[in-house]
Amino acid sequence: MKDNNAAITTDVLLFAPDTAGQWHVLLIERGHAPFAGRWALPGGYVDPHETFAAAAVRELHEETGVAFEEWNLDRVGIYDTPGRDPRGRVVSVAFAAVLDHMPVAVGGDDARQARWWPVTDVLSTDFGPLAFDHDQALADAVDLYMQAGITLAH
């Protein structure tokens, strides 16, 4: 019998405007392989006692210092393409939220740094790809909010 066990993870997309009204997304610079040095969404493994949303809130706080309530999260999607993580089969549930300001973010845990980036910059080809399949999660979250009447990128 083949072992089909998958690891489960969660990722978080936080969006907030700057004082000029330009939308930003919170990213972390990965401190470890895979993709060390690349920008990614805050996130990580779900512990056995946690829901995906609870793990998202915990990972967000551990990697960025930003505290958040899980009931404020919107589910963006499930990301399960084989090969999305070079460490093995990993399934992730991505969550998003729109804030009214950019809280201070500081890299922690396995994140070298945390930083707010303009959404339009991250979506441009000049930015370079995010780690894993986080570019797809970002595009999906932008689409989700656009359908709700919130335009995060032009």
The band of 3, judged by pLDDT with boundaries at 50, 70 and 90, is low
Give 44-50's long-range contacts (Cβ < 8 A, gap of 24+).
44/9, 44/10, 44/109, 44/110, 45/7, 45/8, 45/9, 46/8, 46/9, 46/10
Average pLDDT, stretch 50-65? Answer: 96
- The structure's pTM equals 0.94
- For the structural domain made of 7-147, what CATH number should be given? 3.90.79.10
The band of 2, judged by pLDDT with boundaries at 50, 70 and 90, is low
78: amino acid identity, one letter: I
pLDDT score of 61 more than 80: yes
Domain boundaries, the chain: 7-147
Segment 106-120, tens digit of pLDDT = 988 888 999 999 999
